Structure 1
């Protein structure tokens, strides 16, 4: 498993963010029964930088808490069976790891939302990573039923890791 974490925000979090991210990525893939070793890239930035990325890729000129950039178009969420048949495009040519995609997190939003929702920054960071990992596995929340499925899965992943409110 390769988890590349870049911390580009000037503000530093006083928590073991690398350990939290790594554990939630691994827990998410275990929960979704991913049969492959995977590569995930995580960028931690601030509200200004995530606003620019949000504007560039989604035409929304506001900061957001997390952005997900999946590398795979799934036929069904977490349906990993079709990947080997689809060719080697989704596997790293050197490591053979499944290239899941990129996650961008605003450290400012981690702080703001932890305070707003009355839980720790650790729990908020874990939540954002779990949420994004489900997107990288093909889940979405545009429709009510999809939202319910994602919320249930997020809570189960977080509970397994002890990241409760």
Structure 2
């Protein structure tokens, strides 16, 4: 089950459609959907999590905590709406498109995709683009 939680005034436009899109992505990656919680927040909220849990003294757009068991995906995905807005502006893309990219990025990590190395990041970007085209 996919749930959306809000620690900011932001609300998804069509949460049911977004949830269906994410569920279909999980299915196409040959995984099983478990409990996945999206928590939308601001920079301050996510910065505190980044410092307290990851010892990273930086702003970020997403932090995901993966509790998956085998192929059954579980986790908490925190997304800073402030960062997504700024990134959309910096990359000259639509806010909704950037938000969708970040949301699917978290799920793709749960599916086993990495992005630390250059070749991993390219694969991740291709997967993001593929699933963005399917929403």
Higher relative contact order (CA 8 A, sep 6+): 1
Q: Answer whether TM exceeds 0.5 for this pair.
A: yes
For residues 24 and 56 of structure 1, what CA distance do their matches in structure 2 show? Answer: 32
Q: CA deviation at 1:28?
A: 2.2
Greater per-residue helix proportion: 2
The aligned runs of 1:8-157 (5 Å cut-off) are 8-10=7-9, 12=10, 16=13, 18-19=15-16, 21-34=18-31, 36-72=32-68, 80=71, 98-157=72-131
Name the SS for the 1:160 alignment partner: coil
Instruction: Give TM-score, length-normalised by structure 2.
Output: 0.88
Unaligned runs of 5+ in 1: 75-79, 81-97
Root-mean-square deviation (Å): 2.0
Q: CA deviation at 1:139?
A: 1.6
Greater per-residue strand proportion: 2
Unaligned runs of 5+ in 2: none
For residues 124 and 23 of structure 1, what CA distance do their matches in structure 2 show? Answer: 18
For residues 96 and 3 of structure 2, what CA distance do their matches in structure 1 show? Answer: 19
Conservation of the 8 A alpha-carbon contact between 1:47 and 1:109: yes
Instruction: Give TM-score, length-normalised by structure 1.
Output: 0.73
| 2:2 corresponding residue in structure 1 | 3
